[in-house]
Structure 1
Amino acid sequence: MVVLAASICTKSGKPVISRQFREMPRSRIDGLLTSFPKLIPANSQHTTIETSEVRYVYQPLEELYILLITNKASNILQDIDTLHLFARVVSDLCRSADEREIARNAFELLGAFDEVISLGFREQVNLAQIRNVIEMESHEEKIQEIIARNKEAEAKEELKRRAKQLEMQRREMQKRASSGLNAPGGYLGSGGGYSAPSYTSVPRFEAPTPPRTVSPAPAKAPAFKGSGMKLGRKGRTAELVDVMGGELIVDETPLLASPVVPVEEPVAKRDELAGLPTVAHESVHVAIREHLKASLIRDGGVRNLELTGDLNLSISDPTYSKIRLNLAPAPHAPHELQFKQHPNVAKFGPSKDKVVALKDQNRDWPIGQKPLGVLKWRLASKDESLLPLTVNCWPSQLSSTSLQMNLEYELEHPDLTLRNLLITIPLPDGAYPTIADGYTGNWSLNASSHALDWTAEVVDNDENKSGSLEFTVDGTDIESFFPVNVSFASGQSMAGIRVGDVVTVAGGEEVTFSQDVVLVTDEYVIS
């Protein structure tokens, strides 16, 4: 085949853009385009016209015509296929097929025409490859931009963390200074003595350097003391250490000498927890954390499902040092759920009521220390009914060069409200999706992983229980869509663990407490 020119003209024959692939004077192409509309027969379904010298292969494009001018010996079937590719290129680059929009994108269109036809002969390219060439994207440049954005975000988070840490240090020093002046045997005597002034040193704030990425070492399990609790005259600190079986580590160094730097969560994990309700801490605070891992089969079924959780207790007021926690009934809790208490916490009794309390009720809970891990639980199963969310994937082959993917998610636990749902679908190399109308939520392209990110802010049992997405993409291998990764967070426990009330050991009086529940996915993969 020999394509002489590819053009877009009005219905009167006025050229909008035209690309000649062989030597041809402008007067010649103007004459061919001007005579073209006059050659179109009325009420004809044909899309080709032959003259004594050339053949026109054309297609209406709203108020315009897109056409190829070829020699008469050219392969007409291949010419029609080439014309359709040109029409797809125009639709992809222009928002509408009008004269003004075509002229505005003339440079990109002519460049795309050159990618399809070279010296009059068709190149073996598809729409995705043409789009990549036109965009002139650099994968390395994108990676550098992502790294720069991540560093900027980490620096901002580091500034916030350091500012918060300095504020906590300042308050702690003021508290220590206040308690030091009021304690017996201090500087102030009983008879109008001398009161030494207290000085609060303000630590110098230095701009943080970007944190280095270091693989964290695995945390060691707490070494519990084998001798248990012993009676006798001891200091307050020794009693607290004995009560928790050696779990507490008392640091005698000043707060400002070696500030504790917490391990920051990854940026992605913080984004995953965005939108969860914040809880104001009371004197008694309960923190429940659950982590879900699931490996699912794309055709249905579960390879493995594991849920781990822990309950941490924080007490800041010595008035509530002798309390017990009554867990709320969980009628829908899985029967495979296994509990494990701290060695100094009493086991659950034979009744259905679950109570978290110290074995020795004469002892006190530690006050003002780090959160105490008092209860853990684990669930391992292959039961598909335990999944909080199901995601159905239906890939199909539309043609030899085109794939279609239909996805649908549905909430299976009506008591849960999921937030920040993210479903990541890999895409074939060099291909970009065309999203069908009527999708749920939002979607975006992840340039770093060349994947489609489908998001929904809330999934609950009301109007947001399910969602769907459909897209097509150039490709030949259905396996390129997998594995599909899912992540979400929730403010409810998947196992139904929740503290119903907190009461004193002596009188059974109710104690005001706060409770924070977070469920996150460590791994949720469909393959």
Structure 2
Amino acid sequence: MVVLAASIISKSGKALVSRQFVDMSRIRIEGLLAAFPKLVGTGKQHTYVETENVRYVYQPIEALFLLVVTNKQSNILEDLETLRMLSKLVPEYAYSLDEEGICRAAFELIFAFDEIIALGHKETVTVAQVKQYCEMESHEEKLHKLVIASKINETKDIMKRKANEIEKNKMEKSRGDKGNYMSSMGSSRLESTFSDMSISSSTSGFGSNSGFGPSTDLDSFSTKPKGRPAAPVSAPQNSGMKLGKSQGTNKFLESLKAEGEMIVEDVPPTLSKSKAAAPPPTDPLTLTVEEKLNVTLKQDGSLSNFDVQGTLSLQILEEKDAFIQVQVESGGNPSVLFKTHPNINKELYSNEGILGLKDPNRPFPTGQGDGVGLLRWRMQSTDETAVPLTINCWPSISGSDTYVSIEYEASTMFDLQNVVISVPLPALREAPNVTQIEGDWRYDPRNSVLEWSLVLIDDSNRSGALEFVVPAADSSAFFPISVRFTATKTFSDLKVTNILPLKGGPPPKFSQRTQLCTENYQVV
């Protein structure tokens, strides 16, 4: 198999993203891409077209085509597998599957294509591996940062010990000087000495009327936690004041570390590439389909609770686009019960699947940040096959250790993204010993939780396992297990098919967002 080029083009033949993998002139590649729309035609069921020299293998993506150009001697099955892998990557980098969304993510898509196809031949990689390679994560870099952080913490400990020694020596010296001085003076000289010390203290910037004022004010400005006795300070010297404040800050940082906080001052945190928050809308209309999943599974794998609540919301930027109706269609799941907003024409929706206001002369509200809700639905089920992700946890005690094996199994209905499985642990002095894992893990010592994370669960990893060892503990200490994930497919399979303007003219451009997320997903 030799892949000549991979491209995303519009139906008019405009190449939005194009990557060439063999030595071929640019004019030749552009000619092949320009000829493709004329060869496709309409009403054809197959997804490839052959000419005298090349074969086009393509897949429609809304108003675009994802296209792979190969030679005629290549294996069609491998061509289709390459096309399928590319089609799974495009939504990962392009927020919207239109010309604007594809052009914005052009460079990321080209880099992803390079990870799948090398010198015209398909690489054996998964979507998660491609995303990892594009992010250029390095185990050696992480290890280097951990070594640097360890050296910084060690240096801080040395500084803390040195500061304590210096402060202790100054205290002892101050006490000795003060004793000798007081023994050699009379009572009258002693009173004048204390008067001079109070004047010196008041002019040092801490505002005290007694000789011990600087110690009190220093403790009030210190960042040490409450409840610790304040270290005594000798005469009010600027160097001593700065040293005491630095020591308090170090003690505060050390107390946070003891509670499990990660303090690494020289390594800035990295932002995850996952879409934690949706960007502000740029299209005149934005329709959001969101479903929240509440599932409770028992330890034996049986289903205790399954509840899905969904909403369809509409966000309009300008009032001139608010005189519309929204046409939708659902997947026909009889378990999903829909309910419209009180201001929506229920008869129109029931007969034609169109969401419009009862008064067609009124516009939809505009400028609302979260949009206005048009439709709600709910799904409850006792069918265990509807659960998208099942978790089995098997703790077993052997001697002084507990061996814990956790398995997950995902349904083929959904491709799950940003999966995090949180397993509570008994209080530990150090992180558990993880002996087997698929994905990544992190130990939170403050909450005593092991977080097992997977970027993507698809057909390449529908099942997986995690094994770790901790000191002997009761099996109930590892429950309840909490799960978080998102998906781009929903149980209702609700889609917006058209926007109908009520005052004539072309319909305004709209974008559609679809997401399934967990609200409360536990194994108890």
- TM-score, with normalisation over the residues of structure 2? 0.46
Compare the two structures and name the one with the higher helix fraction.
Answer: 2
If you compute each CA radius of gyration, which structure gives the higher value, 1 or 2? Answer: 1
